[in-house]
Amino acid sequence: MRVRIDYTNMLSSAVGVHGIPDEALASFAAPAREAVLSLRKKHPVTRWRDLPRDMRAELPRIKAAAEYVRGMAESFVVLGIGGSALGPIAVQQALNHPRWNELPREKRGGPKLYVEDNVDPERMAALFDVIDPETTVFNVITKSGSTSETMAQLLTVMRMLIDLYGEDRLHERLIATTDSEKGNLIGIAKKYGLTTFYVPEGVGGRFSELCPVGLLPAAVCGIDIDEMLNGAAYMDSLCDGEDPKENPALMYALLEVEAMRRGANVGVLMPYADSLKYFADWYAQLWAESLGKKAGENRFGQTPVKALGVTDQHSQVQLYTDGPFDKTVTVLGVEEYRTEFTIPHAVDENPNVAFLSGHTFNELISAERRATEHAVTASGHMNKTVLLPRVNANTVGQLIMLFELATAYAGELIGINAYDQPGVEEGKNMTYALLGKKGYEAKLAEMSGSLERKTV
Ligand code: PA5
């Protein structure tokens, strides 16, 4: 059940002059070794790597909370954004029924899941049209404990629950996941006696899926979190050595960083499975926020683009084949889908359509994936395929760790800090200033001095 990367089509021998010369692979040895050694030294900033082992001790508490929610709730609502939302969404879509919320309760076994990351007022209001507070449990997730979007949602939910049930019963319907010391949420959680889970030190937002941020929502929805951790631990064990030919995350990073040096400023991730569609969203944050950095005068990063096979074959693949050589395409493929669906016979008199009959949708989507890989390769564009034997809790755990480590190795190869996000923090500070938070007056003055707007 090992996730593998086929990187043949990143190389010139497959795609020609716009690929990475095959001889360059030999020159990877020294930077590969340095990247592995410097990443090892980063600990404890990289404690996210220990989660598959460290979380074992926390599993009984997570499972107990999940059982409580499953026993009393019809809806489970996550309040969180960025790393506090994208992982839970990706894992739920990957491992549960694609129409989970629409299934009857007996077929779900767990509550409906809503992940409320955006603060569009229309969306916030709409949530209350579909949930019943009596049978809803909320999980507010924020590592920093201060993100405005999440805090605004928390205030909304707290007001509603206190008005309905009183402060003393808030803990029945609100669970907190946050830093054990920093931020505002921990104080609120203590004051109201909320069940609280912690984001460990050294686990940044976008690296937090394998801690209670992701494990609790997954367990509430019946996902095998032990197996997710097993998969992640297995991938971590494969990705520690200095030889990139034996270390998939390191090879991924070396190829992408080399491609960036050769002008590939765009990195497309294209899953050929609806179940992996939101992995592309999760990956986009991980890759963009970790690597989009400046060091002195130099700026780094690669713009992640999310695509879905086969849907985007009818939208973006034209650009990937005939457009500029400014990108790499990473296909996420699945060898064995969990369902087999046969295309029936209906118009056998028309051979131009009837050729499909008797084949399966499985064959069709796999053929289309291979066709896209071939078309992109034939047009001279670098591409690779990350292949999952099957989508299950173990391979999803592997995939999470693979991409986290690839991002971390890429950070080491580029020579930037992959674990901060000053641009994101600046946006958070501007929001505080605009909404009148104390201590942000200078920031507000800075913004008020902006240029007069020119509109047309
Ligand atoms: O990766 C990160 O650290 C960020 O993108 C955060 O996930 C995001 O800003 C939300 O932060 P928090 O969980 O502190 O509310």
- Active site amino acids: 289, 314, 428
Query: What average pLDDT does range 399-411 have in this prediction?
Result: 98
pLDDT value for 174? 98
Q: Closest ligand 1 atom to the C-alpha of 141?
A: 13
Residue-wise pLDDT for 157-191, tens only, equals: 999 999 999 999 999 999 999 999 999 999 999 99
Question: For 266, phi and psi rounded to 5 degrees?
Answer: -125, 135
SS3 per-residue string spanning 212-234: HHHHHHHHHCCCCHHHHHHHHHH
List, chain by chain if needed, residues with CB within 6 Å of any ligand 1 atom: 81-84, 142-144, 147, 150, 204-206, 289, 421, 424
What is the spatial distance between Cα 183 and Cα 188, in angstroms, rounded to a whole number?
10
Between 428 and 113, residue with greater pLDDT = 113
Residue 275 in this model has a pLDDT that exceeds 70: yes
- Domain of residue 296: give its range: 4-41+229-414
Which residues are bridge partners to 177 per DSSP?
141, 197
What is the spatial distance between Cα 62 and Cα 215, in angstroms, rounded to a whole number?
7
Residue 100 belongs to domain with CATH number: 3.40.50.10490
Q: From the centroid of its chain, how far is CA 103?
A: 25
pLDDT value for 450? 66
Between 448 and 244, residue with greater pLDDT = 244
Q: How far is the CA of 165 from the centre of ligand 1 (A)?
A: 30
Residue position matching structure tokens 């960036």: 260
pLDDT value for 425? 87
Q: How far is the CA of 198 from the centre of ligand 1 (A)?
A: 14
Residue 88 in this model has a pLDDT that exceeds 80: yes
Residue-wise pLDDT for 407-442, tens only, equals: 999 999 999 999 988 888 888 888 888 888 898 888
Q: Are residues 330 and 213 in the same domain?
A: no
Q: Are residues 200 and 252 in the same domain?
A: no
Answer yes or no: is 456 within a domain. Answer: no
Q: Are residues 34 and 52 in the same domain?
A: no
Answer yes or no: is 442 within a domain. Answer: no
* Residue nearest atom 4 of ligand 1, based on CA coordinates: 205
pLDDT category at 451 given cuts 50, 70, 90 is confident
Residues in the chain: 456
Of 223, 240, 255, at which residue does a domain stop?
223
> Beta strand 294-295 with 298-299: parallel, antiparallel or unpaired?
antiparallel
From the CB of residue 25, how many other CB atoms can be counted at a distance below 10 Å?
A: 18
Number of domains in the chain: 2
Angstrom CA distances, 311 to 272, 294, 333, 368, 438, stand at 9, 35, 14, 10, 47
The secondary structure of residue 337, as a DSSP letter, is: -
Answer yes or no: is 32 within a domain. Answer: yes
| Residues with Cβ within 8 Å of residue 213, at least 6 apart in sequence | 80, 83, 84, 87, 88, 141, 143, 177, 199
Residue 29 in this model has a pLDDT that exceeds 90: yes
Answer yes or no: is 451 within a domain. Answer: no
Tokens of 368: 């289309």
pLDDT category at 320 given cuts 50, 70, 90 is very high
